Amino acid sequence: MAQRLHLVFGGELVDPQRNEFRDTNAIHIVGVFPNYQSAYNAWKSEAQRTVDSAHTRYFIAHLHRLRDEEQAAGPTEELGN
């Protein structure tokens, strides 16, 4: 079974209604986690820590979905062709 890695990250958004970061250099990388539950726990902790900042949001990215091992080439590998 392939690993199901998850990335937790966040930062200040330009507008709370959109997912556009104010400063991409200031994105807070919480970490990469081996399963959804541990990623969710980290996300929840950061979201609760920043609850008073309406413009700050945290996200969970499913890294394992970026590459499909069943395909000859993943979408990112095709960019170089």
Mean pLDDT of 72-81: 50
Note the pLDDT tens digit of each residue in 24-47.
Answer: 999 999 999 999 999 999 999 999
DSSP codes, 4-64: --EEEEEEEBSSTTS--BS-GGG-EEEEEESSHHHHHHHHHHHHHHTTT-TTEEEEEEEGG
Mean pLDDT of 19-27: 96
Output the pLDDT for position 81. Answer: 44
* 3-class DSSP state of 2: coil
User: Do the beta carbons of residue 64 and residue 4 sit within 8 Å?
Assistant: yes
Note the pLDDT tens digit of each residue in 41-73.
Answer: 999 999 999 999 999 999 999 998 876 666 555
pTM greater than 0.75 (yes/no): yes
Residue ranges covered by each domain of the chain: 1-28
Instruction: State how far the Cα of 69 lies from the Cα of 66, in Å rounded to an integer.
Output: 10
Residues in the chain: 81
Output the pLDDT for position 71. Answer: 59
pLDDT > 60? residue 8: yes
